[in-house]
Amino acid sequence: MKNNPLFIDYKLPFNTIPFDEIKTEDFLPAIHKAIEDSNAKIEAITSSVDIPSFENTVLAFETSHEDLGRIVGIYWHLFAANSEGEFKKLAEEISPLLSSHTNDYMLNAKLFSRIESVYKNDTNVDYDEHDSKLIENVYKMFLRNGASLDDENKENLRNLDQELSMLSPKFSNNVLDAQNAFELWVTDESDLDGLPKDAISAASHAAKAKNKEGQWLFTLQMASYIPFMTYSNKRHLREKLFKGHGGLCNGGKFDNSTIITKIVELKHKRAQLLGYKSHADFVLERRMAENIENVYELLDNLYDYSYSAAKSELEEIEAYAFEKDSLESFYQWDFMYYKEQLKKEKYNFDSEELRPYFKSENVIKGVFEVAKRLYGLTFKKLDDIQTWHEEVDCFEVNNEDGSHVGIMYIDLFPRETKRSGAWMNALLENGLYKGEVRRPHVLFVASLTPSTDEKPSLLNYREVETIFHEFGHCLHGLLSDGKYQTTSGTNVFWDFVELPSQIMENWVGEPEALKLFATHYETGEVIPDELIAKIKQSSNFGAGYLSLRQLSLGYLDMAWYTNLDKVDDVESFERKATEKTQLFPSVDGMTVSNSFGHIFSGGYSAGYYSYKWAEVLDADAFEKFKEDGIFNRETAQSFRDNILSKGGLKHPMELYKAFRGREPKVEALLKRDELIK
């Protein structure tokens, strides 16, 4: 490993990663070496003749795969953010390799015996709360991964995990490849009618990148897709783009149907092998929701309010479309367009009016300023840090007293080598690493409206919310004060992890925060009060539909992971699962499931409800900020101390009550979205 940059200490500032030095061919040898080292450390634990203790067993296990965790973290980050060809294919080798290694230690009877001994004697030793939580987490992790099974069932579990490890990367690669394969070319300038100048310019820029002068290219990247569906008055082209998006990986070269049914079948088998009825039962045991019944109770409690509001909204928009364009049939590819047209008339407001005030650099400065006012944080741009792409910026984050908090990378714009959507990751968690507690290195990635030859990157309102959302996740990682990586930062129950992100979106809608950064990119004029008032007045237009959409995805996720019967047809299964949330005529060939990466290749299987769960938490928590003042330092410090800094140290409800003084109430969300008055 002498020449492998994944093992060489380049002594870069803040021990950052030498991205410029790393090549595709470095990963497999590095992973093999890291697995070998990890196995040797685990062998030392299991062969020890000393009485099992926290230090020689649990802590030794926690630190036994530091190199492997770091290398694999880099690979999966690049796999999502900047990969193609051979690098992407490598996942199909790496994933089963990691699965096999994980099973090797999770199913190691000697190792589990020592861990169990420490866990059962926990009360006899005076551990601090960090040590106790680590002992509990490690013990339960082993139990939930088959450590107590007999040898035959351990082998069965190993085979299931190996098969699953191959399927998720295939699902992800199919979605990315299918997205990149779809292109909507416009050659007649009249077909651009209704589109904002920025969208046209971006499409021209995309076409030029493919050596097509005088044409316009629209894709399924959200920065291209959303403006087209919102503003294009060419109905047949909206239909084509919508069907391209809705038909992703449903049939054809990149079909995910068989992969989906296999993933679900294997996850259920795995759960049953471990003593659970379904994958959902297995997952929810370690969630705030606790069980399937509570998830459905949440979804059902919001359903009536959401459906009623969504149906009313749709009827109003349909009537408007009929009056405006004599539209007698109304489909999903009409909804965004006519919703925007009606919003213009009702509120004398075009969402595109906001773009000039949301230059991406200013939005980043704005979210930094919000964090400074709330938590006293400062952000210093670093120019001597290696990154994975020239568009990536890196910042040092410090406390008010100048003490180091961590490192943050920001990657905002779409590429063919990047999957769509937005997400946060940690390249280094806060906690013990190489013998000392280290500060975190976090990142957030998005695919927002890029700059063109004519204009800088100007964002829409939802993209601004996306920046605040992902930045909220970054704060959760950065402000962690944990002792161990696996109990720190965003390592919390999955239905709690969205609270720090979703609460940050609230500041975007507050005039006091908006005026910190929303200045016209040409004139420097601060966003006028009149425009802010229009944002407020129109903010909940369509809120019922958006809420129903999230509930639909939650019901679909739960249907897949509670259903134990064989599914022969993904499309039919999906229609039945979401039937009560559907407001539009069904269209053959359209599915959500076939590209639903959250639940088939991400971490949200039996957990998509978490977004609505966290909305209840964030609406209720933000009411506290509004009562005290949105930049009240005492309230912000309480949120930092009780939630952001704690990671997974305590049960989320305990943390929430420490901040709010009580359990959350759903009424705050219903009021905020005006689903009740």
Q: What is the DSSP letter of 406?
A: E
pLDDT at 563: 97
pLDDT at 659: 98
The CA-atom distances, in angstroms, between 221 and each of 21, 408, 446, 449, 547 are 30, 25, 11, 10, 23
Residues of the chain with pLDDT under 70: none
Phi, psi of 501 (to 5 degrees): -80, -50
Collapsed DSSP state (helix, strand, coil) of residue 62: helix
Collapsed DSSP state (helix, strand, coil) of residue 290: coil
Mean pLDDT score of the chain: 96
pLDDT at 603: 87
Q: 391-409: b or e for each residue (b if 16 or more CB lie within 10 Å)?
A: ebbbbbbbeeeeeebbbbb
Beta partners for 380?
396
Look up residue 628 and give its two tokens: 């005290």
pLDDT at 534: 93
Question: Which residue stretches of 234-390 are H helix?
Answer: 235-246, 257-273, 279-284, 292-325, 332-347, 360-375
pLDDT at 512: 97
- The string of pLDDT tens digits covering residues 336-378 is 999 999 999 999 999 999 999 999 999 999 999 999 999 999 9
- The string of pLDDT tens digits covering residues 648-659 is 999 999 999 999
Answer left, alpha or beta for residue 668, where phi above 0 means left and psi between -120 and 50 means alpha: alpha
Enter the pTM of the model.
0.91
Q: What is the 3-state secondary structure (H, E, C) of 191-242?
A: HHCCCCHHHHHHHHHHHHHCCCCCCEEECCCHHHHHHHHHHCCCHHHHHHHH
Answer left, alpha or beta for residue 348, where phi above 0 means left and psi between -120 and 50 means alpha: left
Query: Closest Cα to residue 424, out of 442, 444, 407?
Result: 444
Collapsed DSSP state (helix, strand, coil) of residue 379: strand
Phi, psi of 408 (to 5 degrees): -130, 130
CA geometry: angle 566, 570, 571, nearest 5 deg = 140
Q: How far apart are CA 90 and CA 99, in angstroms?
A: 14
Q: How far apart are CA 573 and CA 386, in angstroms?
A: 47
The CA-atom distances, in angstroms, between 334 and each of 47, 242, 314, 331 are 67, 10, 11, 5
In sequence order, which residues have a C-beta less than 8 Å from that of residue 601 and are 6 or more positions away? 168, 169, 171, 172, 175
Could you tell me the residue ranges of all domains in the chain? 13-106+108-148, 182-246
Q: How far apart are CA 18 and CA 30, in angstroms?
A: 14
Query: Are 656 and 645 within 8 A, CB to CB?
Result: no
Return the active site residues. Answer: 470
Phi, psi of 120 (to 5 degrees): -75, -15
Homologous superfamily in CATH for domain 13-106+108-148 = Endopeptidase. Chain P; domain 1 (1.20.1050.40)
pLDDT at 125: 80
- CA neighbours closer than 13 Å in the CB half-sphere of residue 40: 9
Look up residue 542 and give its two tokens: 């369509």
Task: Specify burial of residue 11 (Cβ count, 10 A radius: 0-12, 13-18, 19+).
Answer: exposed
Using the Cα atoms of residue 569, residue 574, residue 577 and residue 579 in order, give the sign of their dihedral.
Answer: negative
Q: How far apart are CA 168 and CA 164, in angstroms?
A: 7
Look up residue 168 and give its two tokens: 């998720």
